[in-house]
Chains A and B, each alone.
Chain A
């Protein structure tokens, strides 16, 4: 049984932050959850999907974040509790709806969880989604611990119903993708029948009336926040330095204060409700300290809002010194950690800290720098994308017109680096590869003679490529889209999508055939197997050179990780070290120096290639690479 479904109130269990959020939603009695996967948010809806049948929930992987929010909002409009989850980029997609939804308000509790990725550990940007709360006049909560992730999510539904507004919860990687003790509460089983009250239409017009109402709701949120238990202070009555923090900054601040033994000198005001600010509470603490440090992830959101509040009250408060990201005291890019907060406190309060002797630290760093190689990300052994990029690389080289790949979001984004032979030259948002390729295609009329190949995964196609492809067809662009169909949303944890024939909770669903859709959108469609690299290279070259208009080549092979779950190796691979000529072969070690699959390594002692039996997944593709036919595959 899933741990989030455990009906044992009072028990303490180990939950990931995202599971704690999911549990909070269950304890709040949600009926509907809709989401598009994206790290670090995916496990929230993933874990709810696993218990959907047991709790009678509708849980879906929607095709994109805007639709997901609309699905969750419909539940709310009909009086049920709805949850919607996404990563930070997703909120950009959902924002068009969100910034009308704020005006219409909602009925049943509606909570939108956005998981930010400070440092862009698994993202194409590190935007701070909190800006949307301010932009949309929406209440914003930020959990700092796993227990709080659960409790805050649960409370967010009450707050949403109290205010008649959707509530934003912003979490970050180190809360969502971390685990800790969580105390379980009761699990309700609501049976309310949904009904849309037609006497109260949800229409943003008249805008000014609704905007006024929205401002009043937000003001009320500020009053509620003044006494919220998620905001509290720990430290001396009049601290030398006041830290104002939220989210993961709370744990880092505690750690720093403890390590530097600053309990008597530093106070921490931890805020869980960060927009609107609990103004009186913040002003009260500002009045007791002369120096304030802000510890928060990504942008100086709290910092600037508190300074704005200070400016309105400075006549009463007197002079203060503020330090944070905006003042350059803390780095304004990348992710925070305990060490950054420790060194900032050291600088401000001039205290000594040396967890290990300087001599050891230096030696450890020198040894590690000297011996430890870098380990860049790359495609897994047996990944169909490596074979695809190999074909792209060869086709573009044969074509000879300096062509390039317009990239998109997914595992195949690794085409920017060595394991995709650095073929990808543009990378932005979901669907942008095809949008850009369609634009480049229009430039042929002005003399652009470089071929452009757009790539898209299967899930990305349904999310945002379909409008771009429609646009290219209608506006008579010239483009080649390679649809890398690996039957999964692989980057985020293998969630199903409309092409897989399964719903989030594992029920059968009609397969929305990529081939049929692309044809309907006006494209000429071909299908190939990326593992057949020779044929794929030829097809790409032909489509680039001989055919005008919008062309889609669907390259179909299951994700190696998905395949590995159900199936053993396709082939037993072996390098015949008698046939391999090593450096003497004229191939420039094509198999290892160029192809670079982690399952095919270089045996330094023998001076020959060798299969790493712990890594190789037996896809058989590399056998095609070797000019000496030294790489052999044997059907398992």
Chain B
């Protein structure tokens, strides 16, 4: 498959600790064996401690690109937290972007302390819709919690992403990509998370 755009730009965003980096790495490891040149830029270090984090993933048939995507050039957004999705669209959005959103909020400490309110999630989703060509939204954290650990929400989201048919993500590619990356004891659970994410999109 040749992407309609080269490079095709994906941004995965969320809050430090949600497994953003792993999700981008898995995606890269699914696509690289298909012959693409992959470039991933990651937010690391201090930003992990509850801050806003982003991974920029660039997929090309021919060249390596900058690990940072220029503003306004995101083709596909996967946000692990709703306002983080909107934050990214404010800088990297454009009328053709497709957005996949985990609707479960994580409150920043200034919300917790009552200095500012967390915006109404339905309002956030409406605005994301206004700025995107298409939006897919569901509560991935709830599914992960049903599985016993919120950490699976990133893999639930990747399963959902595979259903959008924009990237060549298949279950077999996912399985190969997580093998050698995640501890072997957790492979089955991560596969289950992927499958549950697929099912969640079918229901939307």
Contacts and interface: CB of A to CB of B under 8 A. Distances in A.
Interface of A: 1, 3, 12-14, 39-40, 117, 121-122, 145-147, 173-174, 177-181, 248, 251-252, 254-255, 259, 337-339, 342, 355-357, 360-361, 363-365, 367-369, 371-380, 411, 414, 418-419, 491-492, 589, 592-594, 596-598, 600-602, 604, 612-615
Given A3-B180, A419-B50, 16 more contacts: A14-B38, A122-B47, A177-B42, A177-B45, A178-B67, A180-B38, A180-B39, A181-B32, A337-B70, A357-B95, A360-B131, A372-B87, A375-B15, A377-B51, A492-B45, A598-B107
Contacts of A376: 50-51, 108-110
A179 B39 contact: yes
A337 B72 CA distance: 14
For the side of the interface on B, what is the size category? 35 or more
B49 A379 contact: yes
Task: Report whether over half of chain A's contact residues are helix, strand or loop; otherwise say mixed.
Answer: mixed
A371 B121 CA distance: 10
B68 A121 contact: no
B87 A596 contact: no
A121 B41 CA distance: 14
A371 B32 contact: no
Interface in B102-117: 104, 106-114, 116-117
Contacts of A604: 117-118
B49 A364 contact: no
B49 A377 contact: yes
B32 A13 contact: yes
A179 B42 contact: yes
A367 B125 CA distance: 12
Contact of B94 (A146, A356, A597): A356
Nearest to A414: B49
Which 6 residue pairs of A and B lie closest in terms of their CB atoms, listed nearest first?
A368-B90, A122-B45, A178-B67, A39-B45, A355-B72, A251-B66
Contacts of B144: 614
B64 A592 contact: no
A379 B48 CA distance: 10
B130 A367 contact: yes
Contacts of B28: 14, 179
B65 interface: yes
Contacts, number: 215
A376 B64 CA distance: 32
Interface in B1-33: 15-17, 25, 28-29, 32
Nearest to B142: A614
A364 B38 contact: no
Given A3-B180, A14-B25, A14-B38, A371 B110 contact: no
Contact of B93 (A121, A146, A360, A379): A360
A12 B86 CA distance: 35
Nearest to A117: B45
B153 to A, nearest CB: 8
Contacts of B25: 14, 179
Nearest to A3: B180
Contacts of A593: 113-114
A338 B118 contact: no
Q: Output the residue of B41, B87, B104, B124 with the most chain A CB within 10 A.
A: B41
Contacts of B45: 39-40, 117, 121-122, 177, 491-492
B37 interface: yes
B112 A602 contact: yes
Contact of B50 (A12, A173, A339, A378): A378
A368 B68 contact: no
Given A252-B66, A371-B119, A592-B114, A364 B40 contact: no
A602 B114 contact: yes
A40 B44 contact: yes
Given A360-B95, A377-B46, A592 B68 contact: no
A377 B37 contact: no
Given A356-B72, A372-B86, A122 B113 contact: no
Contact of B86 (A259, A371, A600, A601): A371
B124 A594 contact: no
A615 B130 CA distance: 30
Interface string B72-101: 110000000001101101110111000000
Nearest to A39: B45
B109 A418 contact: yes
Contacts of B46: 39, 121-122, 377, 491
A19 B93 CA distance: 31
A357 B52 CA distance: 26
Which of B38, B50, B67, B86: most chain A CB closer than 10 A?
B67
A380 B46 CA distance: 11
9 contacts: A13-B32, A14-B32, A177-B42, A342-B70, A368-B90, A377-B49, A594-B113, A602-B111, A602-B114
B141 interface: yes
A615 B16 CA distance: 11
Interface string B57-72: 0000000111111111
A297 to B, nearest CB: 12
A356 B90 CA distance: 12
Contacts of A181: 32, 37-38, 64
A373 B129 CA distance: 19
Given A14-B28, A14-B29, A178-B42, A254 B73 contact: no
Nearest to B51: A377
A372 B127 CA distance: 11
A122 B127 contact: no
B47 A377 contact: yes
A240 to B, nearest CB: 22
A122 to B, nearest CB: 3
A594 B109 CA distance: 10
B86 A121 contact: no
A355 B71 contact: yes
Contact of A365 (B37, B49, B84, B90): B90
Contacts of B117: 604
B165 to A, nearest CB: 23
Contact of B116 (A248, A355, A373, A594): A373
Contacts of A174: 41, 66-68
A371 B83 contact: yes
B145 interface: yes
A39 B47 CA distance: 11
Interface string B124-136: 1001001100000
A367 B49 contact: no
Contacts of A259: 70
A339 B39 contact: no
A592 B112 CA distance: 6
